[in-house]
Amino acid sequence: MSQQALLKISNLAKSYGSVVALRNANFSISPGEIHALLGANGAGKSTLVKILTGVISGDQGLIELNGREVAFSSPDNARKNGIAPVFQDPALIPDISIQRNLYLTDTDKDRFLFEISAMGLSVDLNQLASDIELPILRMIDLARALAHDPELLILDEITAALPIDMAEKVISIMGAHKARGKSVIFISHRLAEIEEICDRATVLRDGTNVDTFDATQGSEARIVAAMLGDKNVLATHSTKQKNKIATDDFMRVESLSGGKQLKDVSFTIKRGEVLGVAALEGQGQDLLFEILAGASKPTGGKLFVNGEEVTFHHPSDAISYGISYVPGDRKTALMPQRSIRENLALTRYRGMRRWGKINFGEEELKVDGAVQSLEIDTRAKSQVKRLSGGNQQKVTIGRWVTTGFDLLLCFDPTRGIDVGTKAQIYDLIRTFSDQGKSVLLFTSELREIQLSCDRAIVLYEGKVQANLPFEKCDEVSLLSAAHGIVSK
């Protein structure tokens, strides 16, 4: 790869007030290269992507495109120069149709539809973006970027929200893009994907590039070591030990159904048990969690907590029975403009009896306890929106640590989170279980089931397809059950 670089970045830096997001980033991308950009949460990946795509401008440094110095004034400007991104969060406006979203980025409708059908999907252009499920939205975002036929495609954690089949599709699309002599910057926390598809990888730590190497040679260990620096915690080596589980049920779900999405779902969760839920996207797991959390109403079936039948009209009903919910989308759980403290303490004041004067001493004790046990980085504590994704996720879980709970409903808590933080979250779940608390854990990464759960149920088309003991929670069994293949 001695030819001229397509894109070269030198000494790029960016600060937000006193918080340094990017300190000194240097790397280059050749034509026809798939380059992985790696780093723990808060390492500066998203900031770098935003600068490269004209969303924000850097404080210092040089960006060269085909040997010519450039500075992008807007995403539109970057797109016209051949750089098209797919951001971490869907970049479609929810309340307007897909077609109108396409107008906004000046995207050719026919090219878009061509890319969509090449993915094996079909999309109704008149549908509102808000009516479309997250994984499909990600694919629409990707198709929109591809429709501009960019020289450089930037994918920021696109596979994080995707089920396995779609993630594989993205990988093959990247291969095709490369085959046409074009380049990709690929950001992902799934190390297997990096090794499978990428040519080279650059690791960022604390806003500086610390290592660049050929991804094929780069073993998982090298990537992890570079990402974590001194902190040698390996998420993949988290030791899962079967703990003693009490025999009494905490919650029993009987023939639960919800519209067309959930049909006749029954299972039990014991005290101190971590029950995994595995499913491909859209098998009813979203609704199941919402019903258990009191956020949606079932159309049939019964719920029992400690043997007593319960009906939830509002999330506060579930909370009063000790059931807490960590939703999959951090944006639905956090108050972005408020402080870490207010976010953590929010649920303490839910009842009218707590509307009076705040006991600040007690609040501080609880909040500090959560901050410490979850190791939340409080550098940008005044507004939660300034925290990295992993720290935001810790805040959503930490809220329930401050109040206490018996059952934690955790929906894909490690999505888009770096290995170090993932390890912390697994540990946390084990700790909850050791304290006799139950956890219902849905995860889109099947490997996590065996890392953190005692047993698992698999949902397929709104039904419980399989009920697997710990020994059978290997990826093959889970995956085949998730595809509706009956296991024996």
Partner 1 sequence: MSNILKKVQSRFSVAMLSLWGILFSLFVVTGLVDHYFFTISSIGVTLQLAVPLGLLAAGQTICMLTGGIDLSIAMIATGAAFIVSIKSSSGLGLAILYATLYCILIGTINGLAVGLFGMNPLIMTLGMNAVLIGVFTVGITTFLKGSSTMPDIIIKLSSGSIIDPISWPFLLWIFFGGLIIFLLSKTGLGRLIYAVGDNATAARLAGVRVWKVQLAAYIICALLGGLAGLMIGGQSGAVAMSLADSLVLPSVAAVVIGGTSIMGGIGSYTGSIMGALILTVLSYLLATINSSEAVKQMIYGFIVLTLAWTYSKLTEKS
Residues lying near partner 1 in the complex (CB under 8 A) are found at 17, 293, 295, 314-316, 318-320, 325, 327, 331-338, 342, 345-352, 354-358, 360, 399
In this structure, what token pair is assigned to residue 12? Answer: 């790029």
Sheet holding 455-460, edge to edge: 323-326, 407-411, 438-442, 274-278, 455-460, 463-469
Nearer residue to partner 1 within complex by CB, 252 or 338: 338
Count Cβ atoms below 10 Å from residue 185 Cβ, excluding itself: 25
Question: Minimal distance in Å, beta carbon 337 to partner 1?
Answer: 5
Task: Report the relative pairing of strands 300-305 and 308-310 from DSSP bridges.
Answer: antiparallel
Q: By CB neighbour count within 10 A (0-12 exposed, 13-18 middle, 19+ buried), where does 356 fall?
A: exposed
Phi-psi region of 416 (alpha: psi -120 to 50; beta: other; left: phi over 0): left
Closer CB to partner 1, residue 29 or residue 439?
439
We find the least distance from the C-beta atom of residue 358 to partner 1, in angstroms, to be 6
Of 168 and 317, CB closest to partner 1: 317
The separation between CA 54 and the C-alpha centre of its own chain, rounded to angstroms, equals 24
- Select 338 or 463, whichever has its Cβ closest to partner 1: 338
Nearer to partner 1, 320 or 480 (CB): 320
Task: Provide the minimum distance between the beta carbon of 55 and partner 1 in the complex, in angstroms, as a whole number.
Answer: 15
CB of 327 to partner 1, least distance (A): 6
CB of 16 to partner 1, least distance (A): 10
Closest approach of partner 1 to the CB of residue 409, in Å: 11
| Minimum distance of partner 1 from residue 145's CB (angstroms) | 28
Sheet holding 249-258, edge to edge: 262-270, 249-258, 300-305, 308-310
Residue 448 and residue 462: Cα distance in Å, rounded? 22
User: 274 or 384: whose CB is closer to partner 1?
Assistant: 384
Q: Which residues contact 301 (CB under 8 A, 6 or more apart)?
A: 253, 254, 255, 256, 257, 264, 265, 266
3-class state of residue 119 by DSSP? coil
Handedness of CA 37, 187, 214, 32 (dihedral sign): negative
For residues 232 and 332, which CB has a smaller minimum distance to partner 1 in the complex? Answer: 332
